[in-house]
Structures are given as C-alpha cells and as structure tokens.
C-alpha cells in the first residue's frame, strides 16, 4: 500500500506531502489545478523516463519520495532480500531526484538504485492506468499474465514450465558434449583409418631400439666375427697368446732367488684370470655372431616401414607407440561421447514431445479461459459506457525453443464500431477507454494473493450519469482488496470514495501554486456540490451532494 508521497518542485507544486489510506481515494479539483500531478509524480518515482519539463519553473531540481507499507507484499519483500536491501517496520521508501541538466538519481531505502531495478520492484506494488497508459495493459506479455491469473489451470502452467526447464537442461548438456568431443564425423573417420594403419604396424614400445641394435650387429657381422676371432687368438688360443706368456713370466718370478716377487706374481695371476674371463665373454659373443642376410633384409624393410609411418603421421619414429595410444584413446572417448550424445538426443526428443503435449494442453486451457474472460470484460465495459465487442486471441507459435510460459501469444482485442473486427488494444483504444477496460479487467481479477495499489487517471473521461455511478461502484469494489487512487471530475465517482483529496490552484500574480488537502465530510459535500453545479453552490446541488454520499454503501 502507498502510505504517502512527498513532492517538491514538480509541475505546479512547490512542496506537498500527502498521507494516503487503504481503500478508495479520489483526487478532484478545478480544471488545470493539477489533479494529474499525483499520477505524473508517481510514474516518475517508479521509474518512468526522467522528464525535465516537469521541474517547477525557477527550481534546479524536482524531488519525489514514495513510501509503501509492504506487509502484504511477499514478492516485494523477497525481491528486497535478494538485493540485500534492508527494511524497517515493513516500510519501503523510493526516492528520486531529477535535475535541470537531465541527470537523475534513484534510491530504494537509502540504497542507490538503477531505473531498471526500480521498475522491476514497482511492477509488484503499483499499476497505473491513465491517459498515456505507461503501464502494461497493452503489452501482450502482461495480457498473457492477466489471462493466466484469471484461468484455473495452475497445474498445467507449472507442468509447462517444468517441461521447458527439462528441455533446456538436456539441450545444454547435449551442447556441452558436442563441444567436449571436439571431433567431427570426418575427423573421427580419419582417426579410424590411422588407427587401422598403426594397428597393422603393431610397433611395440622398445622395438625400434632393439631393431636398430640388431641391424647394427647384422650389418657389421663379418667384421665383428673377425675381430672376435683375432682377439681370442691373441688372448688364449694363438701360438703367442697372452695367457701363455703371462704364465711363463709368473713361473720365472716364482723361481727367482734373492728377491721376493710374490706380490708381482699375484698381480700377474689376477691379470691371467681377467684375460680368461674376457675370453669367456668373447666365446659367448662368438656363439651369437652370425651372418644372416635375410634377417638383415627383413629388419631394413621393417625399419623403412616404421620411418615411413612416422613421416606420414608427422611424429618422431620413437613416438609412434605413444601416438598410437593417443589415437585409440581419442576414438574411445569419441565413441563414449557419441553414445552419451545419442542418449541425450533421445531424451531431448522425448522432452520436446512432452513439452509439446503440455503446451498444447495449456493452449486449450487458455482458449477456454479467454472466452470466459472476454465475455466478462465485455459485460463490464458495456456497463461503463463502452458499447464494445471484446475478444482475446490466442496465436500458437513454433516450439523452436523451450518457453516456460508456453507457445501462445495472447492479444486482447476490442472494437467499438459494429461490423468491424476486434483489433489489438494498443491500436484502437484511447487513453480513457484503456482506463475503463483496465478497470473492468482488474475487477475480474481483484481476488489476488497480494494487494496492489491501482491508480486511475480520468477513468471516467467522456461519461456521466449512470455510467459514472457504475465506474465509482467498481472502483469501490476493487478497493475491497486493493488500494485504489483515482483522479476524477465526476461527483458520481467521487461520492463512492472512502477518502477525498482536493487540489486547489492559487496565484500571487507572478506564480501559480497547487495545494492539496484532505476533505472531511462537510468539505466533501461542498466539493461534490461544486462538481455537480459549478462554482455557484445552491441548496439543490448540496442536496444532490449529500445524496451521492448517502448512497455510498
């Protein structure tokens, strides 16, 4: 509920603060007194585009402060909590300063705020319907919300939102897998061909070094055999073998008299042992060495094939086994991802079907509710003096993306000319007509979970008599669940209000001023009499004014 509004240097107001009450409050006054200042100021503080032209002449800036009681606004409290904006005693204060240079600043409970943030919050608190209708009635999204709020199909609405969320989640997973695989089918096919080549090559770790070593031996086998044989002759097998000479030397040293050569003999004996061990090693090598031209040719062919494959795959020959393993792993991952992608694709198709089914059910529910709501609005607007035909059109769009609100585009349409088809509100309805249509709609959906402040500017434009009385009755009925503020020039409407505020205009010869004041019962009778008969108040107009008040339930 809007508790109060403070306005300084805005339009004709130098400064004013009005405390507002629950129920239905009207604002009246002479033409040009500034009755619509409230609507303009409230629109500005709630996030409309800053209008420098509204700054009072001679002032550098305008200031508007709106205070709300949000005890019955769970959504607003949750929003403030999410934004980490504190409140005291369930009071919300929005302040705006508009400067002459075009700069503007906004605060929510002393916390600086953006225009977008204020608008988002304000949508939960206030709905304004006026000559310029800067609220949402002509927005097809708002029209869809109105229909959904009116219709009794919350279960299918929730099911549609859930199906859309599941579709979206699965699609995101599928896209992540698409990028995670990083392989096209063409790339995978190339890898499969390369893997087949490497499988056929079957190069094992360490094989290349072993082949090079064996090739080295076979290619030098004749020279090696000759070297080993000559060495064996020199060491142990030839006529002049080293081991024989050493044995003779050791014998002579051992037989020598006059000096002890035992240490030297021991050293030479160790040398003999080393020679014999070397000879034993050479014998083993001698047994291994052989010439094998065919094996040598096979090894050379194998090495040629290995190096050719390495050049083809653009890796070092010794890295081919690692390259082989990496290709196999890539293909394995691709296969696993492909299986997952296929499973997700199947899930996605199922979820798209589920979404299509629940969205179609939602469309049927909306069409059924649209007929009832259009008929109810049409009945109400005709009572309000609009001989109109109302239709709510439902257009089903393509299910190319998962939309939680379903596939329907909702359009409120109206025609006031017999024989003409209903056209969208934004194309046909005037400001006054929109206000009355809005009133009819709000009366139909007034039983909502949260109270809202409704502001109607000139909702009674162009009507009078019984229609004006009906407008007043509807505004009062709406005020049973919500706070209603209305600017009016008709006593039939003003007489229905719980509270009455009058705007007076005065001039000192140089400047014009607007003043607001709350009227008591006697003052209300005087104002209603003025509204009935003009500035000349008679007993007849006073009696009529009392009758307006007496007829108010």
pLDDT per position as a tens digit, 476-525 = 988 988 999 999 889 999 999 999 999 888 777 677 777 888 999 999 99
Spatial separation of the C-alpha atoms in residues 114 and 301, rounded to whole Å: 78
The neighbouring-strand residues paired with 457 are 487
Average pLDDT on 49-63 reads 89
Where on the phi/psi map is residue 514: left (φ > 0), alpha (ψ -120 to 50), or beta?
beta
Q: What is the DSSP secondary structure assignment for residue 88, as one 8-state letter?
A: B
The pLDDT of residue 27 is 92
Of 222, 214, 216, give the one whose Cα is nearest residue 291: 222
Q: Tell me the pLDDT tens digit for each residue of 84-100.
A: 998 888 899 999 999 99
Element housing 301 (H / E) = helix 293-313
**pLDDT score of 133 more than 60:** no
**pLDDT score of 448 more than 60:** yes
Average pLDDT on 411-426 reads 84
**What phi and psi values does residue 166 have, to the nearest 5 degrees?**
-65, -45
- Helix, strand and coil in the chain, % to nearest 5: 55, 20, 25
**What phi and psi values does residue 304 have, to the nearest 5 degrees?**
-60, -40
Spatial separation of the C-alpha atoms in residues 375 and 312, rounded to whole Å: 78
Find the DSSP H helices in 429-464: 431-444
CA dihedral for 233, 234, 235, 236, sign (positive or negative): positive
Q: Distance from CA of residue 382 to its chain's centroid? A: 43
The pLDDT of residue 134 is 41
């Amino acid at each position: 509920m809007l508790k109060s509004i403070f306005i300084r240097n805005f339009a004709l107001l130098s400064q004013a603060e009005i405390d507002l009450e629950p129920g239905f409050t009207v604002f009246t006054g002479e033409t040009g007194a500034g009755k619509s200042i409230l609507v303009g100021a409230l629109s500005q503080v709630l996030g409309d585009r800053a209008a420098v032209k509204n700054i009072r002449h001679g002032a550098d800036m305008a200031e508007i402060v709106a205070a709300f009681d949000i005890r019955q606004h769970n959504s607003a409290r949750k929003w403030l909590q999410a934004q980490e904006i504190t409140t005291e005693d369930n009071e919300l204060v929005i302040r705006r300063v508009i400067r002459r240079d075009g700069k503007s600043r906004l605060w929510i409970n002393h916390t600086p705020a953006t225009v977008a943030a204020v608008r988002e919050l304000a949508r939960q608190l206030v709905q304004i319907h006026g000559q310029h209708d800067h609220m949402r009635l002509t927005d097809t999204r708002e029209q869809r919300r109105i229909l959904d709020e009116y219709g009794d199909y919350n279960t299918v609405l929730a099911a549609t939102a859930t199906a859309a969320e599941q579709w979206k989640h699965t699609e995101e997973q599928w896209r992540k897998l698409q990028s995670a695989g990083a392989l096209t089918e063409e790339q995978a096919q190339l890898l499969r061909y390369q893997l087949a080549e490497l499988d056929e090559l079957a190069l094992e770790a360490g094989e290349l070094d072993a082949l090079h070593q064996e090739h080295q031996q076979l290619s030098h086998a004749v020279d090696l055999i000759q070297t080993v044989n000559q060495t064996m002759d020199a060491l142990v097998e030839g006529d002049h073998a080293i081991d024989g000479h050493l044995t003779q030397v050791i014998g002579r040293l051992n037989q020598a008299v006059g000096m002890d050569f035992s240490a030297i003999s021991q050293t030479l004996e160790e040398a003999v042992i080393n020679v014999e061990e070397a000879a034993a090693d050479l014998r083993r090598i001698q047994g291994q060495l052989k010439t094998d031209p065919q094996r040598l040719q096979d090894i050379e062919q194998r090495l040629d094939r290995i190096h050719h494959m390495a050049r083809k795959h653009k890796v070092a020959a010794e890295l081919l086994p690692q390259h082989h393993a990496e290709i196999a792993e890539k293909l394995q991952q691709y296969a696993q991802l492909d299986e997952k992608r296929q499973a997700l694709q199947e899930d996605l198709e199922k979820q798209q079907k589920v979404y299509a089914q629940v969205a179609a059910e939602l469309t049927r529910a909306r069409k059924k509710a649209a007929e009832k709501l259009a008929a109810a609005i049409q009945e109400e607007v005709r009572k309000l003096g609009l001989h109109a035909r109302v239709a709510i059109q439902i257009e089903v769009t393509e299910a190319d993306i998962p939309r939680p609100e379903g596939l329907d585009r909702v359009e409120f349409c109206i025609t006031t000319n017999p024989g003409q088809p209903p056209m969208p509100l934004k194309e046909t309805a005037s400001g006054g007509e929109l206000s009355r249509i809005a009133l009819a709609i709000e009366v139909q959906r007034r039983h909502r979970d949260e109270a809202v402040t409704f502001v109607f500017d000139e909702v009674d434009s162009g009507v009078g008599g019984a229609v004006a009385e009906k407008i007043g009755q509807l505004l009062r009925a709406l005020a049973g669940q919500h706070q209603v503020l209305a600017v009016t020039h008709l006593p039939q409407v003003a007489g229905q209000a719980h509270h009455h505020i009058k705007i007076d205009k005065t001039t000192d010869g140089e400047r014009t001023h607007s003043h607001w004041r709350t009227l008591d019962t006697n003052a209300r009778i005087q104002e209603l009499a003025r509204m009935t008969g003009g500035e000349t108040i008679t007993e007849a107009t006073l009696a009529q004014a009392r009758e307006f008040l007496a007829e108010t339930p």
